[in-house]
Each structure stands twice: as structure tokens, then as C-alpha cells.
Amino acid sequence: SWSSDTDTDTDTTYSAVQGLTLGGTVFRLSGAFSGTSLEIIGTASGRELHAQDLLTSSGGLVVEGATVLNSTLRINGVTYTFPTSDGSASGKVLKTDSAGKLSWSTDSTGTAAGDPNVNYYVRAGGDTMTGGLLIHSTNDGTKTIDAGLLLEIAGTASGRVLHAQDLLTSSGGLIVEGTSTFNGAAIFGSTVKLNGVTYTFPTSDGSASGKVLKTNSAGQLSWSSDTDTDTNTTYIFRWACR
């Protein structure tokens, strides 16, 4: 038959063990716990959890508030020691000494070359760098400078003055839209376009003094004797008597 559930076991004694307190018929965690192990099946909620030597988690660890770490931090098997203060200026980066000790430093390595999210500026008082410099207008971080070059411009460079102390060369064409002044020797390895006309010069000097440059009317110049080949001109000689 149905009956009230009355505990008639009067011979069982309950006592609180390490880490627990017993208040009447309710067990609670002690305010302070010391021992070798504690297992909680479910969710434990409280204000503060203190581990004197080591706090480990076999699963994930979720921290919803601010985290304060007064010592090293181990990430993916590497132990890092962070600086004890923030960087002295905006833009400083964390650098390692290869032993896990991090410090704030100026970002002068340029290792983010090609990163479209990083802006680089040249100091007004001048700047220096090591390696080659590639200038291009697209945000393509895969572009690299050709081997052996210190400066490469992929596109058009425009400015007022371009100075080359020893030598200025061009692997392609060279277009000069203004007046050109050559105070030294000029070497042209191909054709020269003057006032809209393209000329191909001889590959050697004339064979004798007095030779002149003659054209084939297609821009091909060659050295030739200075002979009048104009047969359409009529000459009239007049004698003057005194």
C-alpha cells in the first residue's frame, strides 16, 4: 500500500570530511580547502578559487572577467615572460630574445613586408633600411623585389628630380618630355627618338674624317661620303669681266 516516506534508519551517522561542513542535513564546501584532491561533478560556483602551487584543467578554461597573471605565461608549450609595463610609445612591438623573454621595441625589422594592413613611413630627417625596396600600387603581399636590386618601382614614378650619382640605366624605354641636358657622355644601346622620329645610328664611327650621316628615309642612318646626289638642280655660271 502507499505510505509516507519516513526515514527509519536511525543507525546511520553522517560526518563532514576534509573540505566540507555539515549544517543539519546539508553539506557545504568549507570556506578554505587544503588537501590533495577535489572533484566536482557538475558546476561549481563561487567568488574565489585559490591554488597555492598549481591549478590545472583537463578541459577548457573560460575566464569571463579580467585576468591578472603575475608570472610567466605558457602558450602552446612555450613559456613567455611579459614586460612589467606597457610600451613607451604607440606602435611598439613585442620582441623576443629567443628564450621566451619579451620586451617592447621599435618595429624596425620590416618583417611585415607586403602586409596591406601595415602603414610604413619614412622619417622626415632621413631613414635607412637593409635589403631591397619594392614600390607598387596594389595591396599584394606576394610581390617580391627582383634578386640583386635595391630599388624597384612596379609602375610609374613621377617627381621633379631624379639624381643618379654614378650611373642611371633603364632596362626598358626612356621617355624625356622636357629639355634634356647632357653634361657628360651619353650611351644609347638602341634607337633614339628625336622630335617624333625614330633613328637607328651606326654601330661604329665613320671610316674617315668628313663622313656624314645619311638616312634611308626609314630612320636608318649610315656613314657616307659627302657627295651631292641632287640631279634636279640646275646651276648657272656667270662670268664677270673687269
Instruction: Give residue-wise pLDDT tens across range 3-48.
Output: 666 666 666 677 766 667 777 777 776 766 666 566 666 777 767 7
H helices of the chain, in order, are: none
Lowest mean pLDDT among 104-108, 109-113, 192-196: 109-113
Instruction: Using the predicted structure, report yes or no on whether residue 114 has a pLDDT greater than 60.
Output: no
Q: What percent of the chain has pLDDT over 90?
A: 17
Q: What is the pLDDT of residue 231?
A: 67
pLDDT given at position 18 = 67
| Greater model confidence, 41 or 153 | 153
User: Rounded mean pLDDT of 201-208?
Assistant: 90
pLDDT value of position 11: 67
Q: Is the pLDDT of residue 61 over 90?
A: no
Are 57 and 63 spatial neighbours (Cβ–Cβ below 8 Å)? no
Please report the pLDDT score of residue 6 as a whole number.
Answer: 60
128, exposed or middle or buried, with CB in 10 Å at 0-12, 13-18, 19+? exposed
Quick one: which of 112, 114, 160 has its CA closest to 136? 114
pLDDT value for 201: 92
pLDDT at 1: 56
Which one is predicted more confidently, 112 or 121?
A: 121
How far apart CA 206 and CA 214 sit, in angstroms, is 11
Q: In the prediction, which pLDDT does 91 show? A: 86
- Copy the grid coordinates of residue 15: 560526518
- At residue 229 the predicted structure's pLDDT band, cuts being 50, 70 and 90, is low
pLDDT of residue 79: 93
Question: What mean pLDDT do residues 156-184 have?
Answer: 79
210 DSSP 8-state letter = T
pLDDT of 82 over the 70 cut: yes
pLDDT at 155 over 90: no
Tens of pLDDT, residues 46-56: 677 777 777 77
